[in-house]
Amino acid sequence: MTAHKSNDPLHGVTLEMQVNALVEKYGWAKLGKLININCFKNDPSVKSSLKFLRRTPWARTEVENLYLDSLDDDAAKKAANDRVALLTPVAKAFLTDRGLEASIDAQQCFGGHGYIREWGMEQIVRDTRIAQIYEGTNGIQALDLLGRKVVKNGGAFVSSYIAEMRDFANSMKAAHGIKQAILTAADKLDQSCDCGGSSE
């Protein structure tokens, strides 16, 4: 028999659990500023706070609302951390790879003089080349991106990013080229990662 799952985020979360979670997250000093009640500011303790909150409905409601807001805040932080983990190696590899290509193109403009130290281009090429190695080589980060941040978590990071791309494109009122380019890129990315397919 399947147990019924409540949609109430406070289901099974006692008032004591809420107070303990808020104290751990904010501390008594900040909690007393967020909810202006004496039991949070003057010699605060969980026991005295519970006694007051259980007989003061409006204060209990404020505690419950702050607790729910803290859950949303934690979820937002996790989503942001997931996005950073996904896009940092992409941004680092793209910019450093393009930087090396641009510096080599500039070096070619000098012909043979591009390799002479006096012009400075050979130093720029070396500097941009080392950028591909600093903070983890681009090749290793690419393997880590696919191995740990796409395959290992079942495409969770990238699928949420693809969904955001589609939502952004579909929110555009005009059916211009940028909108179609984003949707096409999202489809290709989805296919290459097989994020929309079966996990079996």
Catalytic residues: 135
Cα separation, 13 vs 141, whole angstroms: 41
Quote the tokens at residue 132.
């591909």
Residues with Cβ < 8 Å from 86, sequence gap 6 or more? Answer: 145, 149, 157, 158, 161
Alpha carbon distances (Å) from 67 to 20, 33, 57, 82, 99: 10, 15, 15, 23, 47
